[in-house]
Structure 1
Amino acid sequence: MPVAAVVAALGAATVVCSLPAQARGRGDVVQQGMDNLVDRDGYPAVLSSVRDRGGRVHDYTAGVADLKSRAKVPADGRVRAGSNTKPFTAVLVLQLVGEGRVGLDAPIEKYLPGLVRGEGIDGRKITVRQLLQQTSGLPNYTAYIGDHYEKDRHTYLQPRELLDLALAHKARFAPGTGWEYSNTNYLLAGLIVEKVSGRPLSKEMTRRVIRPAGLRHTYFPDVGEEGIRGAHPQGYRATKQDGPLEDITVMEPSWAWAAGQLVSTPSDLNRFFTALFGGKLLKREQLVEMRKTVRTTGMWPGARYGLGVVSTPLSCGGLVWGHGGDIAGYETRGGVTDDGRAVTVAVTANPPSGPRGQGPADVLSLVDTALCK
């Protein structure tokens, strides 16, 4: 079934299976993979939502939601979505492109005059496309935050403060001559959205993306909102391999902003990517541009980067389109295929403490298994 048909069928044609693991049996390869992520890789909890070609949705859980209370993992619970925020931000920019208010190949200086300057950095030479495709050469501000969310993770950081961190360092390469993942690109994309629309990024994201896509459990946290609303597992991180896990659920997420601040659920992320690639959120011309990819460095094998989206080859042929997200306490991976399959896997430790050090690779492998087996 093509993605567009899946979008039209969302809702009534969906059958949700949220049975506990023991009720589904041990023969399910997705459940087995999730159990392995807990038992072998040291993740406290794993949540996943899988949509098959026929539109059936299965929500799975493994592990525990809280290492202290041993509470059950809420099926399709909320997690911090991390860099899955980037395709939401990219959609906003591309919607403005489709409305003729932003030029995809225009210099960012046109929208943020005089703002982007530094050693080897000039906003007159960086295009909007290069921001979205991670080819601007801008240094990554998160590389210079240090461990602020360890020492004082309850401090609100404004976007301009984050930008100053990046601009204090020289360019990584001349615009358009290389590829490197940089959260600074999406920080600036968010500032362009605010400048052109005249509205806060969070409000535009809700009005233009979250509501039209029918995402009932996705939201952009308010300033100072440190907890996670509704049912959710706790998020953890290990300061060293084989070390103890620290609960880092409560934190001020403003440092991630347009690059990674969203909270969502596995099924909502599936719903978003299905709506996006089904043509519900962008005009055809902008969706075509979004799917034009370039080679990446430092990502997982086979990953290619478009305008805020990543394509990854599947073992059974074809591609999965999504992004993925990493933020303190949570990791999410997944996406959709052109024939309507979808999966999102979320784990609740980033980084995990497992002795094998294979956790992230095993999460990616489970995505492939869910879509191919």
Structure 2
Amino acid sequence: MDRDGRCQTDQSGARLFPYWSFTKPVIAALALMLESEKRLDLDAPLDLPELVAGGTLAQLLEHSAGLPDYGTLPAYHADVAAGRTPWPRDLLVARTLAQPAPFPPGEGWRYSNLGYMLAREVIEGAAGRSLAELVQERIAAPLGLENVRLAQTPADFAALHWPEARDYHPGWVYHRTLIGTAGDAARLLHGLRGLLPKAAFARMTACRELGGALPDRPWTRHGYGLGLMCGDWGDTRVFGHSGAGPFSSNAVYHCPETGRTAAAFTHGPFEGPAEQVVAKLVAGR
């Protein structure tokens, strides 16, 4: 999407895709909305049995809460591949937390899907609404995103473009996953600025630098904000999020310098190809 609002995507039309971890920016944006309404304090210590004392919602959203990730569990991937029913929530937590904590809250960075599951639960508790309801009321409806919704059952995935989606239960994504078109993904990211107070959007996009180039991906410098991946693709500064599941991947990014926002969805579980497509689109090449 350019400065005039024209959508720049992978030309996928009305086909529906899983957004995977592009759902994380939405979770973070909802938290910032609730904080602006004094219904949450992102920097207040959380009283959660899964979280070391002193951990905050902001740390969950920026992956600095010191939690391991369930994506490192071989049994998780084996059961997903076998088409089994998602584990009960408490079993998922127990198996994930059986791994060593990587660092105390606030003293490092490690990507954790478990952290985003906890963040979702905190947000739902503060709002008194489910994530599905919050997405419709506060994101999809205001931005006119008719195809965006939260996937909750296998039937929701049966409508997706990739045939493998019919054999996947979205409950395996414990922070939940949105589904929608590529165009709506670009419009969603592009529209977040208008949905958030100026200070909240600035906090969301503040980039904590984590490192340099990533193999087979366009990143020459990478970092993370609140629910947003950020950094440089060569001489192009970007923020957004990539996502991947067992059968597909995506990249949705905005370049502040060009004003362009683009989304790409590719077959296969590696984000690099989708990021390479988006890198050309947001740079105007």
- TM (norm. structure 2) is 0.87
1:165 Cα deviation from its structure 2 partner: 2.4
Tell me which residue corresponds to 1:361. Answer: 272
Answering whether residue 103 of structure 2 is matched by residue 173 of structure 1, we say: yes
Cα shift readout 1:18-45 (whole Å, capped 9, x = no counterpart):
xxxxxxxxxxxxxxxxxxxxxxxxxxxx
1: CA distance, partners of 2:272 / 2:184 = 23
Stretch of structure 1 that moved more, 82-91 or 299-308:
299-308
1: CA distance, partners of 2:266 / 2:79 = 23
Residue number among 238, 242, 255 corresponding to 2:172 in the alignment: 255
**Counterparts in 2 of 1:361 and 1:330: CA distance versus 1, 3 Å:** closer
2: CA distance, partners of 1:226 / 1:330 = 16
Answering whether residue 261 of structure 2 is matched by residue 342 of structure 1, we say: yes
**Counterparts in 2 of 1:91 and 1:159: CA distance versus 1, 3 Å:** farther
Report which of the two has the higher share of helix. Answer: 2
Residue number among 135, 150, 157 corresponding to 2:81 in the alignment: 150
1:193 Cα deviation from its structure 2 partner: 1.2
Where structure 1 has 5 or more consecutive residues not aligned to the other structure, the ranges are 1-50, 62-73, 236-246, 352-359
**Counterparts in 2 of 1:312 and 1:361: CA distance versus 1, 3 Å:** same
**Counterparts in 2 of 1:125 and 1:218: CA distance versus 1, 3 Å:** same
The residue type equivalent to 1:108 in the other structure is L
Answering whether residue 2 of structure 2 is matched by residue 52 of structure 1, we say: yes
Answering whether residue 16 of structure 2 is matched by residue 78 of structure 1, we say: yes
Tell me which residue corresponds to 1:217. Answer: 147
1:296 counterpart SS class = strand
Q: Determine which structure has more spread, i.e. the larger CA radius of gyration.
A: 1
Where structure 2 has 5 or more consecutive residues not aligned to the other structure, the ranges are none
1:220 counterpart SS class = strand
**Counterparts in 2 of 1:95 and 1:53: CA distance versus 1, 3 Å:** closer
Tell me which residue corresponds to 1:44. Answer: none
2:263 counterpart SS class = strand
**Counterparts in 2 of 1:196 and 1:53: CA distance versus 1, 3 Å:** closer
1:272 Cα deviation from its structure 2 partner: 0.7
**Counterparts in 2 of 1:312 and 1:137: CA distance versus 1, 3 Å:** same
**Counterparts in 2 of 1:202 and 1:54: CA distance versus 1, 3 Å:** closer
Tell me which residue corresponds to 2:209. Answer: 295
Answering whether residue 60 of structure 2 is matched by residue 131 of structure 1, we say: yes
The residue type equivalent to 1:234 in the other structure is W
1:80 Cα deviation from its structure 2 partner: 0.7
Q: Percent of aligned pairs with the same residue?
A: 27
Instruction: Please give the residue correspondences for 1:298-337 in structure 2 after superposition, counting only pairs within 5 Å.
Output: 300-317=219-236, 319-337=237-255
The residue type equivalent to 2:40 in the other structure is V
1: CA distance, partners of 2:150 / 2:89 = 15
**Counterparts in 2 of 1:213 and 1:159: CA distance versus 1, 3 Å:** farther
2:155 counterpart SS class = coil
User: 1:137, 1:173 within 8 Å by CA — same for their partners in 2?
Assistant: yes
2: CA distance, partners of 1:208 / 1:275 = 12
**Counterparts in 2 of 1:100 and 1:295: CA distance versus 1, 3 Å:** same
Cα shift readout 1:193-221 (whole Å, capped 9, x = no counterpart):
12212222222222222222221111112
**Counterparts in 2 of 1:156 and 1:224: CA distance versus 1, 3 Å:** farther
Tell me which residue corresponds to 1:284. Answer: 198
2: CA distance, partners of 1:256 / 1:171 = 21
The residue type equivalent to 1:347 in the other structure is T
Cα shift readout 1:143-163 (whole Å, capped 9, x = no counterpart):
22232111234x144444332
Answering whether residue 156 of structure 2 is matched by residue 234 of structure 1, we say: no
**Counterparts in 2 of 1:75 and 1:99: CA distance versus 1, 3 Å:** same
1: CA distance, partners of 2:69 / 2:8 = 37
The residue type equivalent to 1:290 in the other structure is M
Tell me which residue corresponds to 1:270. Answer: 186
1:285 counterpart SS class = helix
* Paired residues, number: 276
CA RMSD of aligned residues (A): 2.3
Tell me which residue corresponds to 2:126. Answer: 196
Cα shift readout 1:53-97 (whole Å, capped 9, x = no counterpart):
443335545xxxxxxxxxxxx524111111001011111111111
The residue type equivalent to 2:25 in the other structure is P
1:138 counterpart SS class = coil
2: CA distance, partners of 1:162 / 1:210 = 29
**Counterparts in 2 of 1:166 and 1:59: CA distance versus 1, 3 Å:** closer
Tell me which residue corresponds to 2:32. Answer: 94
